[in-house]
Amino acid sequence: MNQKAMFACLFLVWLPHSLNGNEPQNVWPDLAPGETTRLMGTKQPQRPGENPPVTRVEKITQPTYTVHLAPEPNGAAVVILPGGGFGKVVPDMEGTEAAEWLNQHGVSAFVVSYRTKQGRGDPGWKRPLQDAQRMLALVRSRADEWGLNRNQIGLLGFSAGGQVAVRLICADGRLAYDPIDAVDQVSHRPDFAILVYPWNLYDRERDDFVDGLAVPKGCPPAYLVHTDDDRSTSLGAVLFYTQLKKMGIPSELHVYGNGGHGYGLRQIKGSEISSWPGHAAHWLNRWLASQ
């Protein structure tokens, strides 16, 4: 390798994180609330028969995000919360693959690897909720730097990430942590939300939302996707849409007959579930055009 080529390689290696969107960046300026370690997590062994493979990361105490700016941006952006049942995060099938889809429609994306569950007493959703609130405020606070419209910052949540997204919306602006700097003075309210098989929103015994959820009057418009045969019942998504409809908030609900749970944007044999991104893009483009 000649000297010029070697210099170019070294430059790429040391390229600042702010310019290299694929490099994980920290959600918090220091330790995350309540944490004493900075663990970016470990990958679980790949499961046999998955093609393409699915990445699953566990034991995260230092939440990070990756930046995926649209090649032909329209100013909108989405913070993506992958699923994983709170014990892990799926950053590709429910993260970067969704970012690529959004980029194709001019929407920039930020994929969050939020903190995972720690012990029996951890409800699972609280730390991810803190990370999601901080991330939305962070993106909005740096909107000019990334060429974004501060009033077109949305939230996309899959499965457990979908539950976190709903909890964030239902918190109606209340922070789940003590403010630490100027970023936390910026609104973390999403301007729109896409909720894909949001996990366990419905309590069968109560025949209502799980405890702690109540759709606020200032709820943003939402697009919801679920399947009838999902073990995490679609009734939670139906309830959420019903409340939005009663409040006159423009939203859309799609419940497919089959497809199960945890498909991301991928195809499922014998199901039409992989058509949801096309419908969601139409809904989102229509909403953006109305602003």
pLDDT 10s digits, 177-220: 999 999 999 999 999 999 999 999 999 999 999 998 999 999 99
Q: Tens of pLDDT along 104-131?
A: 999 999 999 999 999 888 899 999 999 9
Distances (CA, A) of 243 to 13, 156, 197, 215, 235: 50, 19, 17, 7, 12
In this predicted structure, the answer to whether residue 77 has a pLDDT above a threshold of 70 is yes
Each domain of the chain, given as residue ranges in start order, spans 3-290
For tokens 């989102």, what's the residue? 284
- Which amino acid type is present at position 32? A
In this predicted structure, the answer to whether residue 55 has a pLDDT above a threshold of 80 is yes
Distances (CA, A) of 180 to 112, 135, 138, 141: 20, 13, 12, 14
Span 3-290 CATH architecture: 3-Layer(aba) Sandwich (3.40)
CA distance 13 to 7: 10
The per-residue b/e assignment along 32-47, b for 16 or more CB within 10 angstroms, e otherwise, is bbebeeeeebeeeeee
Across 77-82, average pLDDT: 98
For CA atoms 263, 269, 271, 272, the dihedral sign is: positive
Beta bridge partners of 225: 196, 254
Specify the pLDDT at position 201.
96
The answer to whether 249 touches 221, Cβ cutoff 8 Å, is: yes
For the CA atoms of 101, 104, 109, 114, the dihedral, rounded to the nearest 10 degrees, stands at 20
